[in-house]
Structure 1
């Protein structure tokens, strides 16, 4: 299974059914991630995530 990007005709990850402890194996394309410093969370409207850094 992969998640298609409806605008760019690309995908960000794959989920494989494999014999693991969870029954799934997840693989994500690291270039699809955007790292935002915790000091800039409000600037990018991630206020709800601030509590994760307390």
Structure 2
């Protein structure tokens, strides 16, 4: 984890076509968190062929 921030939380949903999420009213929020996380994968297997 890097650059982790904590503070008061705020939550809102923006209107979007064909979505009802913006109609939800947030009752309360707790603490807010923001952080960055990354990882590296080095053992991938490349799949090829018709069954991949």
The alignment's TM-score, normalised by the length of structure 2, stands at: 0.24
Structure holding more strand per residue:
1
The alignment's TM-score, normalised by the length of structure 1, stands at: 0.24
Structure holding more helix per residue:
1
Higher RCO structure (Cα 8 Å, ≥6 apart): 2
